[in-house]
Amino acid sequence: MGGKLKIYEIDFQTSKEQTLYLFSRGDMFDVVSLLDGGTKREYLSEVLEDVNLIQVPLLTIHEMILQDEKFRHFFYKYLALQLKSMEELAISLSLYDVNKRILRLFTKFTTVKDNKATLKVVDNLKHEELASMIGTVRKVLNRSLQKLKKDGIINLSRRNIDINDFQKLLDRLNI
């Protein structure tokens, strides 16, 4: 898959939205159905950037898991990452405040190369999308982002977030 695809749930009575997954290049969707016999689950999805998808029948993937050792190893490693992601979301929503959740999100999607921290995947999302990923609303998220900007940890520009001081971000996370 290329581009960005959001998978989410919404409570139509309260209009609360929770992003479950943000897929980008190389991700697989609905891998759990491979384990539970193909039980279909209804998801809401939204294309955030142009997406190229490849659809592969479940039976074909089952055969690949059984017959191709390299694919099997890759698949189980990917599945473990997806399960850990759901576990982290549950822990984050139940244990941490919004400030800590945004810091955790940024550390998850930051790569460091030659002492330069770069935010990937979430760097150009609308604030509504970021808020949905951490289980809050845009107004509350914006307060947290402005505080991080004031403290010199990030720079904000039109739909773009740059990490200025990754070590300071990590220090703030560990307080």
Indicate if the pLDDT at residue 148 is higher than 60. Answer: yes
Instruction: pLDDT band for 158, please (50, 70, 90 cuts).
Output: confident
The architecture CATH gives domain 98-173: Orthogonal Bundle (1.10)
Average pLDDT over residues 43-47: 87
Measuring CA to CA, which residue among 46, 43, 48 is closest to residue 32? 43
Which residues of the chain form CATH 2.60.120.10? 2-95
Indicate if the pLDDT at residue 57 is higher than 70. Answer: yes
Question: What pLDDT is recorded for position 2?
Answer: 64
Question: What pLDDT is recorded for position 3?
Answer: 81
Which residues of the chain form CATH 1.10.10.10? 98-173
DSSP-based three-state secondary structure for 163? strand
- Contact call for residues 122 and 115 (beta carbons, < 8 A): no
In angstroms, how far is CA 94 from the centroid of its own chain? 17
- Contact call for residues 119 and 109 (beta carbons, < 8 A): yes
Phi/psi for 99 (5° steps) reads -60, -45
Helix 98-108 / helix 166-173 crossing angle, nearest 10 deg: 130
CATH of 2-95, one of 3.40.50.300, 2.60.120.10, 3.30.230.10, 2.40.30.110: 2.60.120.10
Question: What pLDDT is recorded for position 95?
Answer: 94
Lowest-confidence segment of 15-29, 61-75, 153-167 by average pLDDT: 15-29
Question: What pLDDT is recorded for position 38?
Answer: 63
Radius of gyration of the chain (CA): 18
pTM of the full structure: 0.79
Question: What pLDDT is recorded for position 175?
Answer: 63
Measuring CA to CA, which residue among 98, 12, 3 is closest to residue 54? 3
Question: What pLDDT is recorded for position 59?
Answer: 86
Site of tokens 């790569």: 111
Q: What is the 3-state secondary structure (H, E, C) of 64-91?
A: HHHHCHHHHHHHHHHHHHHHHHHHHHHH
pLDDT tens-digit series, residues 90-123: 999 999 999 999 999 999 999 999 989 988 888 8
